[in-house]
Amino acid sequence: MITDIKKFLDYLGKEKNYSRNTVNSYEDDLLQFNSFLARHFGDSSFSLSAIDQVTIRLFLGELLEEKKSKRSIARKLASIRSFMKYLVKKGRIRRNPGLYVATPKLPRKLPVFLDEAAVGKMMELPDSTTPLGLRDRAVLEVLYGTGIRMGELIKLKPEHVDIVKNVVKVDGKGNKQRIVPLGKEARAALENYLGARRVLLKNEHSNMDEGYIFLSNRGKPLYPRGVYNIVTGYIGKIAEIEKKSPHVLRHTFATHMLNRGADLCAVKELLGHESLSTTQLYTHVTVERLKKIYDQAHPKADR
């Protein structure tokens, strides 16, 4: 099965245009499943046709015994289903046994977000007298001002930004492009940073300009860990929320848009969501906020 897994991962990367991180997650899940199957069948050269829904349930049961979270188990089941679908497509098996296994019911988690005052304070923290401070401000403003993902941010190049029309062309998941408006604060921060970007390129560790907008202190393209460290560092200074990540700014963008009356379908397009149900999660945040305000302010709110 290892050969089939390698071909599947290659298919995800080259034909489906999945990110390296996503492909790595599939690889981890499927290699773990393969190890289970070798133990289950007592032979590493087991037949793919021998894998049925009972076998998959036994694998999930083992994960439960190991105290794995339901979210982790659901992700592994999704990986198996996708892999089996690929095997059916390639004629390696006749049917997808993963379709007959129920997904564990997951608790609905509301997105973590910052309030508008906290965002305002955060934007004032970067040192505007240094190139790195200007970069940090631009990172924060663009993430919050556009709602794009961290992976989309680090792929931005100057040609993707139209300062005149105030829009950004974003390469999203599955290599799907979308146009996102660029607010005045994000535009100003970006222009200020681009003016100082050449200083980072002069760093002795920088070999050449690869064209990406956001750079590290060494003049290299900024990697996900770098963006993560920048954002979590500033969020930690203005909020005590448990989860601190670049995705919090995406959640904040969506929540603030809906709080101010934005159309749900429009927010869906801006975020690049495939399904409206994914965007609807933010309406629950808005409803919970309204309930809290009601409970605090209405004289007969005690329920």
Active-site residues, by number, are 149, 173, 247, 250, 273, 282
Long-range pairs of 51-60 with CB within 8 A, sequence gap ≥ 24: 51/84, 51/93, 51/97, 52/97, 53/97, 53/98, 53/100, 53/101, 55/97, 56/80, 56/97, 56/98, 56/101, 57/101, 59/33, 60/101, 60/104
Which one-letter amino acid corresponds to residue 151? Answer: G
Evaluate whether 265 touches 276 at the Cβ level (below 8 Å): yes
- Distance (Å, rounded) from C-alpha 192 to C-alpha 134? 7
* Residues paired with residue 221 on neighbouring β-strands, in sequence order: 215
